[in-house]
Each structure stands twice: as C-alpha cells, then as structure tokens.
C-alpha cells in the first residue's frame, strides 16, 4: 500500500472522528435545552419567577434568573399543583445570589425545599454629572441617570425613581464626589437653614385665625426638623422649620 493510500485512510479516519465529536456536542446541547424547557414548565419554577418579578427594583430594564440548586432535588414538588415561594431572607434590593423557600401550598413547615438562585438585574441609577465639592447643594443639572448591573451598586445607592430625583435636589453632600460617582443616600444631608440664636417668625394658623410671633432658636436645624425656640416671655416651645427664618408650631 502506497504513502498516498495511507494518507487518504488517515484523513478519512480524522474526518470521521471530527464528525462524531460534533454530533456528540450537538446532542448534548439539544439535551440541555430540553432539560431547561422541562424545568420552565414546572409549577415550582413558575412560582420562583413570579416571586422574582414582584420584587424587582422599580427601575429594572431587564433581568435574568439562574437556578443554582440542581433541579433533581425538587422532584418531590412536581406533583404539587400549588407552590408557595418566598425569600428565606427578604432582600433589601433584589440582585445577586439569594435563597428561596418553596413549599406545597401555604404550609411553610411541611418539608420546605430551599433553592439558591442568582438574579442578574440591569437598571437605572443616579450619578453626578461633574466633580462636586463637599457641602455642595445639589441642583437638577448636577444629577443624571446611568444604566448598569444593580448587583454591583453600593448598599445605599439611589435608583433613578422620580421620588429619589426629588429627594436629592436641595440636599448637601457630606463629602466631595468625582464625576460619574454613584449618588448614595448616606452621602446626603439636608442643609442647615436655622442656627442657634437665629430669630424665627412662628406662624400659627387655624380656622378663621392666624397668629404670628417671633422667637429665638435654641437649636440648629434643616427644613422639616423639629427644634426648640424661646418666646419673648422666656417660654420654650417646639416648632417645625418650614423655610429659612420661618416655622410653625410642632404637632
């Protein structure tokens, strides 16, 4: 047998092996897809997905749930028509790994099953548009919205909700922030508009009457704070700051 014939046989053998490997890989992928499809049809899987959907952060734009616990361990739940799902520990902001408790019906004590999942969440959050100094009072043009993995955000990061946008405007920074820094609730403070010894105008209003008096502030405070003031007759009362230099009797 010549060299050319041997080469042809070697080439044919190699091609056969490549085809077998390709078919094997393709078969594994089809099997994996079939398994995923089967899991998605189970009541316990749908219960987990519904639980996650109810607890997604309000600015979520997309999310993905990965099941970390082997599906085989949940076989006893296949015959249960009503699966109850709850988080083993309520997440502060649903993103990352967490544990779900599954039970048949509403009885949480009867053979609960524990499932670990990994929730990837993409959403919108607040950042600053430029370098800002400590004690800077935030304005609307200091804030913008960015999108990213919410699981990577600091614990007190502010999501881009309308309420958060209103909350941060007019507040002061506790420390300096660089451009694109994430806004965090613990980095903000309300600006002090009343200092000790300031003169305040106290307005008390009711049905058909209005009383105005002046008083001396005995504390410092921001708008919305309750502080003590001393009236001209030396009486101490508690008032709520409503604006710089103005207050109303505290309820």
Token pair recorded at residue 81: 């028509």
Looking at residue 150, its pLDDT comes to: 95
> What average pLDDT does this structure show over 221-231?
92
Enter the pTM of the model.
0.69
> What average pLDDT does this structure show over 80-91?
90
- Rounded CA separation 226/202 (Å): 13
Q: What is the largest CA-CA distance in the chain?
A: 123
Could you tell me if 100 and 67 are in contact, meaning their C-beta atoms sit under 8 angstroms apart? no
Q: Strand pairing of 172-173 and 143-149?
A: unpaired
> What average pLDDT does this structure show over 115-133?
97
- Rounded CA separation 51/209 (Å): 53
Q: In this predicted model, which residue has the larger pLDDT, 17 or 139?
A: 139
- Rounded CA separation 27/240 (Å): 72
- Rounded CA separation 110/124 (Å): 40
> Which has the minimum average pLDDT: 7-11, 63-67, 81-85, 125-129?
7-11
Q: Is the dihedral of CA 102, 104, 105, 107 positive or negative?
A: negative
> What is the helix (H) or strand (E) element at residue 22, kind and residue range?
helix 3-40
Per DSSP, the three-state class of 159 is strand
- Rounded CA separation 74/86 (Å): 15
Q: Tell me which residue of 115, 41, 109, 106 sits closest to 74, measured CA to CA.
A: 115
Per DSSP, the three-state class of 42 is coil
Per DSSP, the three-state class of 53 is helix
Q: Could you please report the per-residue DSSP string of 104-129? A: ETT-TTSS-EEEEEEEEEEEEEEEES
Residue with tokens 């307005």: 203
Looking at residue 106, its pLDDT comes to: 63
Q: In this predicted model, which residue has the larger pLDDT, 58 or 223?
A: 58
> Which has the minimum average pLDDT: 29-43, 62-76, 136-150, 210-224?
29-43
The pLDDT tens digits for 23-74 are 333 332 333 344 456 878 899 999 999 999 999 999 999 999 999 999 988 8
150-174 CB burial, b ≥16 within 10 A, e <16? bbebeeebbbbeeebeebbeebbbe
């Amino acid at each position: 047998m010549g060299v050319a014939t041997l080469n042809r046989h070697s080439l044919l053998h190699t091609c056969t092996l490549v085809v077998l490997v390709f078919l094997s890989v393709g078969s594994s992928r089809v099997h994996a897809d079939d398994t995923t499809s089967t899991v998605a049809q189970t009541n316990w899987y749908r219960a987990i997905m519904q639980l996650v959907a109810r607890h997604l952060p309000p600015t979520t734009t997309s999310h993905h749930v990965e099941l970390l616990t082997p599906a085989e361990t949940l076989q006893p739940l296949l015959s249960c028509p009503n699966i109850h799902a709850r988080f083993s520990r309520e997440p502060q902001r649903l993103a990352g790994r967490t544990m779900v408790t599954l039970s048949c019906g509403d009885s949480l004590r009867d053979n609960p099953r524990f499932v670990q999942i990994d929730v990837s969440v993409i959403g919108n959050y607040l950042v600053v548009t430029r370098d800002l100094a400590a004690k800077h009072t935030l304005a609307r043009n200091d804030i913008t919205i960015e999108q990213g993995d919410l699981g990577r955000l600091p614990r007190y990061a502010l999501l881009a909700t309308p309420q958060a946008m209103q909350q941060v405007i007019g507040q002061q920074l506790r420390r300096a922030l660089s451009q694109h820094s994430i806004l965090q609730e613990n980095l903000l403070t309300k600006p002090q508009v009343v200092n000790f010894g300031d003169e305040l105008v106290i307005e008390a209003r009711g049905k058909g009457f209005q009383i105005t008096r002046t008083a001396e502030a005995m504390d410092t405070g921001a708008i919305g704070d309750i502080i003590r003031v001393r009236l001209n007759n030396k009486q101490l009362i508690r008032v709520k700051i409503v604006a710089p230099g103005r207050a109303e009797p505290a309820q």
